[in-house]
Amino acid sequence: MKEILKVEGMTCSCCVGKVEKSIDQLDGVSSIKIDVDKEEVKVDFNKDKVTLGQIKKKIEEEGYKIV
């Protein structure tokens, strides 16, 4: 399933890399697309394997805020 998360605090390609890497570790995530200007993280995942809550937690652990 596809979800778009609003994430505050991402400012550059390094932030994008960090967020991507953190979510990518999760089993069941098939694609991640991040738009820094819009502060959006588009994620495509298998909801039988991973929950949106787990994805959000990973982003928050990197120090970004989900709005």
Helix, strand, or coil here: 34?
A: strand
Q: Does 1 interact with Cu ion (rule: CB under 5 A)?
A: no
Query: Which residue in the set 15, 26, 36, 66 belongs to the binding site for Cu ion (CB under 5 A)?
Result: 15
Tell how strand 65-66 and strand 2-8 pair up: antiparallel
Start-end of H helices in the chain: 13-24, 52-61
Nearer to Cu ion, 15 or 66 (CB): 15
Contacts (CB under 5 A) with Cu ion, residues 47-66? none
Supply the minimum distance, in Å, between the C-beta of residue 67 and Cu ion.
18
Q: Does 14 interact with Cu ion (rule: CB under 5 A)?
A: yes
Find residue 35's DSSP bridge partners: 40
